[in-house]
Amino acid sequence: MDIAKRRIGGDKYRDQVIALVSRRGYRVSDSTHEQDMKEASDLILNGKGCALRIRSEKAMQRWPDEFTIRATRPDRLRVGQDTSDTEFQKIMAGHARYAVYGFADHNDRIVLMRLLDLNVFRTCLLNGHERYDRSLMYSDDGVGYFVFNVREFPATLIRHVWDYRH
């Protein structure tokens, strides 16, 4: 599938993210379909994979310091469906160096965004999993997510913050 077609409607914040990250000096390009599907990389920053997730204003109001990573997929239970790894499995396997996690307002403007260093994230989970592991939280569509709070990790987890909340 063409990379542009698979992203239609799926990532309306992509151009804003690219502009914000580029202004911080990162070289940004699109990932390939293979990198997206197998390496949890929606973008490439300075040659390294980067996961991307922008959530709603409602989510920001409730959980501004939390980030979620997909841990289960309902389609894995269906015979013959895609059985690729979840984002959490891909990240823990060493794919994707960065993650952009943010929130947009009701006007679809990014108002809070963090660039996370997934090497720090992986090291923390591998060396102290009992401190960071969370119970699964399920969305209405049955997808399970691990929930993490940026304040529980070392400050080095966050590479950059864009905060336009007023």
> How far is Cα 44 from Cα 29, in angstroms, rounded to an integer?
5
Token duo for residue 72: 């289960």
Q: Strands 43-45 and 110-117, how do they pair?
A: unpaired
Q: Say if CB 121 and CB 134 are below 8 A apart.
A: no
Q: Which domain holds residue 30?
A: 3-163
For the domain that residue 64 is a member of, what is the CATH number?
Answer: 3.40.1350
Q: 30-59, pLDDT tens digit by residue?
A: 999 999 889 999 999 999 999 999 999 999
Q: 47-98, pLDDT tens digit by residue?
A: 999 999 999 999 999 999 999 999 987 765 555 555 568 999 999 999 999 9
- Best CA proximity match to 166, nearest among 85, 109, 101, 120: 109
- Structurally, the chain folds into a number of domains equal to 1
Q: How many CB atoms lie within 10 A of CB 9?
A: 6
